Amino acid sequence: MVAKTSTKYWGILKLKVLVIGSGGREHALCWAISKSPKCDELFCAPGNAGIEQVASTVPIAANDMQGILEFVEKNAIDFVVVGPEGPLVDGLINRLEKLNITAFGPNALAAEFEGSKGLTKDLCDRYNVPTANYARFDDPNAAKEYIRNQGTPIVVKADGLAAGKGVFVCRDLTQAFGAIEKIMIKSEFGKAGSEVVIEEFMIGEEASFFALVDGKTVLPLVPAQDHKAAFDEDEGPNTGGMGAYCPAPLVDAKMEKRIMDEIINPTIQGAALDGRPFKGVLFAGLMITDEGPKLIEYNVRFGDPECQPIMMRLKSDALELLLSCAKGRLDQYEIEWHNSTALCVVLAADGYPGGYEKGTEIKGLDLAGKEDDIMIFHAGTEKNNGRIVSSGGRVLNVTALGKTVESARKKAYEAISLIDWPEGFYRSDIGWRAVQS
Ligand code: AMP
Ligand code: GLY
């Protein structure tokens, strides 16, 4: 097959873009990119039923590196945006760079800041980035001895990628030893658990902070707040995130400056000194404590669901922004935001984050999403005989823009009331901290 030609001129450029992933984050990215006049054609691998409305979906899994590379070459893709961490840690950016394809995201070495919690903690230690005190262990008995000496509460984490499930906040020794058992002895997370990081328990309020990094310039995005627990009032098991909003009033201009000065900039400089220069979006999970901001962990991609409200609030051309980041041109960029709050509520399948049914029908989406300031981003959905059915745990992300957090929240819940999906559930208190503050 012969590659189709594409028009590669920066300025009057029309680009063929490929987004990798299939969640709400990737729907939001595709939606934002598709609005750009610079977007000629947009593909998403593998995408979902919502992404189909704004991009051509291609049945290639996000972790099918060979399949992605072949698609990129055959279709003369100009720019690749990688959503999830897996392909980044596996080195997709390295392979694309070898083919001279511009891509958004860190290479494999820099992606290890998400791929190894211990590596990040060591970097924090070397460059004085405030974070919880910690120790690393590859021997379960030594880990237990340390826990016994430290006392509880204490946090036990599998070192590697564990789909958000490898973190145990332990109230007592039984829980902490149980976590060591699961991670290191029963190997429930495979080789991700061959090492553990044991951390001091931090008290405070969490925030999600994002910065675009192009190799020279570091540009903060709008701070957000996620809701990790499955149920209202932060009850129930931890999930990938049940809702998010931005901006988060917890991170005002003064706090943002501290985060940049004390956490983000020293990390980026330290990473470069360590021979792991970072490019892409650095996502700092933060605890805002009485002593100031402290790092919980780094991710090397946009947050899901945080990306959904961030994309909705973004006024600038998303394609131009991500491309400027990938091309090292952020110094020429000033991001514009809508002067409003965006809030996203996740609809999940009953049972999530445990076992859940797939293939249940969802109705009412057209009506629920018909206003301009509402977007229903899809996560785990697919089409089946023209019907939209669920295909995952987190299924829809109802996102609204409003003048205030209260109005965004009201609009999002009004839209949800129009969705007919008896097999789903959602939290009814997304944004409660901002509403109370
Ligand atoms: P992580 O996957 O590392 O972001 O951790 C998942 C969740 O565990 C975080 O969002 C926090 O709620 C909690 N957590 C992780 N580390 C700590 C810590 N050192 N102190 C208190 N809570 C923590
Ligand atoms: N919402 C948290 C994450 O994307 O990891």
Tens-digit pLDDT profile for residues 294-311: 999 999 999 999 999 999
User: Which tens digits make up the pLDDT trace of 46-103?
Assistant: 999 999 999 999 999 999 999 999 999 999 999 999 999 999 999 999 999 999 999 9
HSE-up (13 A, CA, CB side) for residue 418: 16
- Mean pLDDT, to the nearest integer, of 9-30? 87
Phi, psi at residue 145, to the nearest 5°? -60, -45
Give the number of the atom of ligand 2 that is nearest the alpha carbon of residue 299: 5
The phi, psi pair for 30, rounded to 5°, reads -65, -45
The residue written with tokens 């021997």 in the block is 139
Find out whether the beta carbon of 114 lies less than 6 Å from any atom of ligand 1.
Answer: no
256 lines ligand 1 (CB under 6 A): no
Give residue 285 CA to ligand 1 midpoint distance, Å: 8
Query: For a pLDDT cut of 90, what percent of the chain falls above it?
Result: 93
**Average of per-residue pLDDT values in the chain:** 95
* pLDDT for residue 169: 94
Residue 6 pLDDT exceeds 90: no
Distance, CA 13 to ligand 2 centroid (Å)? 33
Segment 206-227 mean pLDDT: 96
pLDDT digits (tens, 9 = 90+) for 318-353: 999 999 999 999 998 899 999 999 999 999 999 999
Better pLDDT: 333 or 403: 403
Q: Which ligand is nearest to the CA of 297?
A: 1
User: Which residues contact residue 99 at a Cβ distance below 8 angstroms, ignoring those fewer than 6 apart?
Assistant: 69, 72, 73
The answer to whether 55 and 44 are in contact (CB under 8 A) is: yes
Instruction: Report which ligand 1 atom has the smallest distance to the Cα of 166.
Output: 2
The ligand minimizing its distance to the Cα of 287 is 1
What is the biggest distance separating any 2 CA atoms in the chain, rounded to whole angstroms?
Answer: 65
Point out the ligand nearest to the CA of residue 301: 2
Indicate the range of 26-30, 128-132, 233-237 predicted with least confidence: 233-237
Long-range pairs of 142-149 with CB within 8 A, sequence gap ≥ 24: 143/180, 143/184, 143/196, 143/198, 144/177, 144/180, 146/198, 147/173, 147/176, 147/177, 147/180, 147/198, 148/173
Residue 382 clears pLDDT 50, i.e. is over it: yes
pLDDT digits (tens, 9 = 90+) for 259-278: 999 999 999 999 999 999 99
Residue 67 CA to residue 166 CA, distance in Å, equals 29
Closest C-alpha to ligand 1, atom 7: 167
Q: Mean pLDDT across the stretch 4-22?
A: 71
Q: Would you say the CB of residue 228 lies under 6 angstroms from ligand 1? A: yes
DSSP class of residue 234 equals G
285 lines ligand 1 (CB under 6 A): yes
**Distance in Å, CA 153 to ligand 1 centroid:** 12
- Given a cut of 70, whether residue 2 has pLDDT beyond it is no
Which tokens go with 363?
A: 């109705």
User: Is the pLDDT reported for residue 425 higher than 90?
Assistant: yes
Q: Sorting pLDDT into bands at 50, 70 and 90, what band is 138?
A: very high
What pLDDT was estimated at residue 352? Answer: 96
Q: Which residue has the CA at smallest separation from atom 2 of ligand 1? A: 164
Ligand 1 pocket: which of 296, 298, 301 to mutate (most atoms <8 Å of CB)?
Answer: 296
Nearest-5° Cα angle at 212, 210 to 215? 140
Ligand 1 neighbourhood includes 318 CB (under 6 angstroms): no
Ligand 2: centre distance to CA 141 (Å): 31
For ligand 2, atom 3, which residue shows the shortest CA distance?
A: 303
- Please say if the pLDDT value at position 3 is more than 90: no
pLDDT of residue 13: 73
Q: Which residues line ligand 2 (CB under 6 A)?
A: 226, 240-241, 299, 303-304, 306
Kindly indicate the confidence band of residue 164, based on its pLDDT and cuts at 50, 70 and 90.
Answer: confident
Distance 129 CA to ligand 2 centre (A): 21
Averaged pLDDT, 232-252? 95
**Pocket test residue of 147, 167, 283 for ligand 1, highest count of atoms within 8 A of CB:** 167
Q: pLDDT tens digits, residue range 364-380?
A: 999 999 999 999 999 99
DSSP 334: -
Assess whether the C-beta atom of 202 lies below 6 angstroms from ligand 1: yes
Residue 201 in contact with ligand 1 by CB distance below 6 A: yes
Would you state the pLDDT for residue 11? 54
Considering every ligand atom shown, identify the ligand nearest to the alpha carbon of residue 165 and give its number.
1
Nearest atom (ligand 2) to Cα of 241: 1
Ligand 1 atom closest to the CA of 157, numbered from 1: 3
CB 275, CB 269: distance < 8 Å: no
d(C-alpha 328, C-alpha 325), whole Å: 5
Cis ω before 106 (30° cut-off from 0) = no
H or E element that contains 285? strand 280-289
Report the length, in residues, of the chain. 437
Pairing of strands 361-362, 374-378: unpaired
